[in-house]
Every structure is written in structure tokens, then in C-alpha cells.
Amino acid sequence: MKLTEFIRPELCWVLDSAESRDDLLKQLTSRIGEAEPTVDADLIYAALIEREEKGSTSTPEGVAFPHAMIQQAERSFVAAAIVKRGVKFGHKAHPASDVIFVLVGPKEAAWDHVRLLARLARICHTPGALKAMRQAADGDGLHRCLVAEDNRHV
């Protein structure tokens, strides 16, 4: 599943910092609400928090994949952010996450959700990919990097 079909420059950002996981998710969902007017930012925020409370979506590599399936979403999409001073996502053994992917999709497209998560996992696991993402200067640069990494995979 190509990531490029689900991500666009308006949904990629490079941020300086956030006070906490919840603050970061608040910032990101607010930005998502601006870029995707058909979805309710508060609803996505609540769904992301609910998911994180079940278990952190962070990884040992400093990546987090907060995700939510909500009735209101018309289609699946991904938002990506680099947070220069990362934030802890709740898993004690994991470092602060500075590469964040937010996945949102309709409840009836659960399989798309799984495939997108798998795609992102593959991209992040590619040698050198995370380093390239972390060097992005802005959202456009991050988007270009993700497209390039996406194109490296079957």
C-alpha cells in the first residue's frame, strides 16, 4: 500500500517541542482539523488519547504511531511530524518519540488501517530512513523525504 496516497504536504510538520504527549496530540489534531475540515479535531484527539491509554504506540526507535478509527472520517489519511525535542509517549523503556505518525480512518476501513500501519513500520525500519526524516527542515521537506522512502519499497 503506497503511503503517498494517504499523505500530503499540508499534513506534515516540523515542530520545536511539546510539553507532553497530550499537548503534542492536541497540537497535531488541531493542525489536522485545519487541513482536513471534514473531521472534528476534538473527536480525533479523544480517540487518540483513548488508544494511547490502552498501550503506548511508541517504539524503541523514538517513533510513535498514534492512531484512531472514527465514524466521522470519510477516508484514511496520515499526518507526520518531527518534534525536535521529543516527548515520552508512556512506555517506560522507550525513549522520547520525535518522529510521529498520526493515522486516522473510518471504522469500516479497518484493513486499510492495518496496511497503513504496516507500511509506516516498513518505511521506518529501512536503514537510514529515520535519520533522513529527522533532518527535514520543514513540512515540505518531511513530505518529500517520506515520498522518497515510500518509493523505495515494493
Partner 1 sequence: MSDAPTFKLMVIIIDQPDLVDELVTGFLDIGVRGATIIESHGMGQIVRKEMPIFAGLASLFPENTGSRMVMSVMPEELCERVTELVDEIGSQFGQPNTAICFTLPVETFRGIRH
Q: Would you tell me which residues interact with partner 1 (CB under 8 A)?
A: 1, 111, 114-115, 117-119, 121-122, 125-127, 153-154
Which residue lies nearer to partner 1 by CB, 31 or 119? 119
Q: Please tell me the distance from the alpha carbon of residue 18 to that of residue 1, in angstroms, as a whole number.
A: 31
The least CB distance from residue 126 to partner 1, in Å, is: 7
Which residue lies nearer to partner 1 by CB, 24 or 133? 133
The least CB distance from residue 152 to partner 1, in Å, is: 8
The least CB distance from residue 5 to partner 1, in Å, is: 13
Separation in Å, CA 153 to CA 73, 116, 124:
27, 13, 11
Instruction: Compute CA 17 distance to the chain's CA centroid, rounded to the nearest angstrom.
Output: 16
Which residue lies nearer to partner 1 by CB, 88 or 122? 122
3-state secondary structure of 126: coil
Which residue lies nearer to partner 1 by CB, 3 or 145? 3
The least CB distance from residue 110 to partner 1, in Å, is: 12
* b/e map 21-58, b = 16+ CB within 10 Å: beebbbbbbebbbeebeebbbebbbebbbebbeeebbb
